[in-house]
């Protein structure tokens, strides 16, 4: 079995590290002046060099050359995720009091230290309060805020940053040359961009690409192997959103999925495309709505069904732009929520059959002009009384959407124009059917409603 590239090219000394110059210089100075702390915290995103710096630093303070994955008895690495209990930390504390066997300092590197339990942190605190002179702790974490302040206050803190893309490309180019692999610059840039500031992730992705056995790596191959959506397809998808072709948008998205592209890569590609349009002043649509949409793209994977959530985000964005671009909607944007002061041009008395026709006409109008609102209203239970349209919803998500001022105004204005009378809306939430299992939470119900909204012809099995 061959060794992974990220292990083969792991930095072995300070000069070989990438993107953390200020931290490296500070640690070098501490070694040079012999002003070492008894405990350090290295915090930052994954794959930016925290563990590599910890290992190199542990060897440097003991005046030992660091060889990749060597085993020095006095440099002890502990995985905080799998050794997180109080017993493990008590054992560490007992062993720490023994003098180092071969080095000047006994160094404990605890990775993902934020995973320790509260009792374990309390046990660790005991030795940090009164540490033996021969012991140094290096605590590495990707979640600094989860470390108790009693611990952080007794350490020197170093915050690692994401590595600039140009430095990652430079490192990938060096690796490709040493591996004698012909790579286009655009391919390396795409891999570095996908690594999202993590050198380790970028090298792992590069390893995956070259494992395909291709003699020449270009952008097309990278897109195919890593599931990165092609820029032309993302442009087409966005153009269809801007042109109010939502059915084509869903078709475009499904085709991208069919090509094997992941939700994460698609979301990132859409986000980056819109960001470039904003930076280059090429976005001729509402910036605020676009930024809200971009924020949603960043949390796609927080949902149980990211693919469906992405579809919903695209529909919502298209509908928001349609509302903003509709002159009639803009003209009516100041209508009060109650619409009491609106004076219709004609009046008439409605009977029961008129209400049925009015509801059908309202849905037909919304279907033509505001498809998302149509999808929500068609799943509600309407009831007319005293110039009020009462809507009962099964899902709080739908109730909130209709109560938003822009949506409320569209519906009331439409029904007033159709009826010649002044209608107000009353949005209520149905009592949840007790037959629904209690373990289904609101997010799950919202997702079911979302699927029904996107695919109105779907049947519940």
Domains in the chain and their CATH numbers? 5-159 (3.40.50.300), 165-226 (1.10.8.60), 231-321 (1.20.272), 329-454 (3.30.300.180)
Mean pLDDT of successive 10-residue stretches along the chain, which has 461 residues: 78 90 95 94 93 94 82 90 88 91 93 93 92 94 93 95 93 91 90 89 90 83 81 87 84 85 87 88 83 87 83 85 54 33 40 74 86 85 86 83 88 87 86 47 52 50 43
User: Residues 6 or more apart from 257 whose CB is under 8 A from it?
Assistant: 266, 307
Q: How high is the pLDDT of residue 39? A: 95
pTM of the entire structure?
A: 0.60
Q: How high is the pLDDT of residue 350? A: 55
Q: How high is the pLDDT of residue 388? A: 87
Chain-centroid distance, C-alpha 461: 32
Q: How high is the pLDDT of residue 77? A: 92
Q: How high is the pLDDT of residue 315? A: 86
**Of 415, 444, 440, 445, the residue nearest 430 (C-alpha):** 445
CA 69 – CA 248 distance, rounded (Å) = 53
Q: How high is the pLDDT of residue 450? A: 54
CA 447 – CA 459 distance, rounded (Å) = 15
CA 391 – CA 424 distance, rounded (Å) = 11
Q: How high is the pLDDT of residue 454? A: 53
Chain-centroid distance, C-alpha 219: 25
The interaxial angle of helices 219-226 and 199-210, nearest 10 deg, is 100
Q: How high is the pLDDT of residue 334? A: 33
How many other CB atoms are there within 10 angstroms of residue 80's CB atom? 20
Q: What are the CB-based long-range contacts (under 8 Å, 24+) for 145-149? A: 146/114, 147/41, 147/113, 147/114, 147/121, 148/118, 148/121
Q: How high is the pLDDT of residue 120? A: 92
């Amino acid at each position: 079995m061959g060794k992974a590239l990220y292990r083969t090219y792991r930095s072995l000394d300070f000069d070989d590290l990438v993107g953390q110059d200020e931290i490296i210089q500070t640690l070098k100075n501490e070694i040079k002046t012999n002003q070492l702390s008894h405990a350090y915290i290295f915090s930052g995103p994954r794959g930016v060099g925290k563990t590599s710096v910890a290992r190199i630093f542990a060897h440097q303070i003991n005046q030992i050359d660091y060889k990749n994955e060597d085993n020095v008895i006095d440099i002890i690495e502990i995985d905080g995720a799998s050794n997180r209990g109080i017993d493990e930390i008590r054992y560490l504390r007992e062993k720490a009091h023994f003098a180092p066997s071969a080095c000047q300092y006994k160094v404990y590197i605890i990775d993902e230290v934020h995973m320790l339990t509260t009792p374990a942190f309390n046990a660790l605190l005991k030795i940090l309060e009164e540490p033996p002179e021969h012991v140094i702790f290096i605590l590495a974490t990707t979640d600094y805020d989860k470390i108790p302040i009693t611990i952080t206050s007794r350490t020197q803190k170093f915050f690692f940053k994401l590595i600039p893309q140009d430095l990652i490309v430079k490192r990938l180019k060096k690796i490709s040359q040493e591996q004698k692999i012909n790579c286009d610059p655009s391919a390396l840039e795409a891999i570095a961009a996908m690594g999202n500031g993590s050198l380790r992730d970028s090298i792992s992705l590069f390893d995956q690409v070259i494992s395909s056995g291709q003699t020449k790596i270009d952008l097309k191959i990278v897109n195919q192997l890593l599931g990165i959506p092609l820029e032309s397809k993302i442009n087409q998808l966005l153009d269809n959103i801007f042109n109010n072709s939502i059915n084509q948008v869903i078709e475009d998205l499904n085709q991208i999925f069919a090509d094997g592209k992941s939700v994460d890569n698609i979301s990132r590609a859409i986000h980056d495309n819109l960001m470039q349009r904003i930076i280059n002043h090429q976005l001729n649509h509402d910036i605020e709505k676009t930024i809200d949409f971009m924020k949603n793209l960043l949390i796609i994977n927080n949902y149980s069904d990211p693919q469906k959530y992405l579809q919903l985000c695209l529909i919502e964005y298209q509908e928001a732009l349609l509302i903003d671009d509709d002159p009639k909607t803009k003209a009516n944007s100041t209508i009060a929520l109650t619409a009491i002061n609106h004076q219709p041009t004609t009046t008439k008395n409605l009977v029961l059959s008129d209400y049925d026709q009015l509801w059908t006409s309202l849905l037909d109008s919304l279907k033509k002009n505001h498809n998302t609102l149509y999808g929500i209203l068609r799943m509600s239970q309407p009831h007319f009384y005293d110039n009020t349209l009462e809507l009962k919803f099964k899902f709080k998500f739908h109730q909130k959407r209709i109560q938003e001022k822009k949506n409320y105004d569209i519906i009331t204005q439409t029904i007033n124009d159709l009826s010649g009378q002044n209608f107000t809306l009353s949005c209520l939430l149905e009592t949840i059917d007790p037959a629904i299992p209690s373990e289904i939470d609101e997010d799950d119900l919202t997702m079911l409603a979302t699927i029904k909204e996107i695919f109105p012809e779907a049947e519940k099995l």
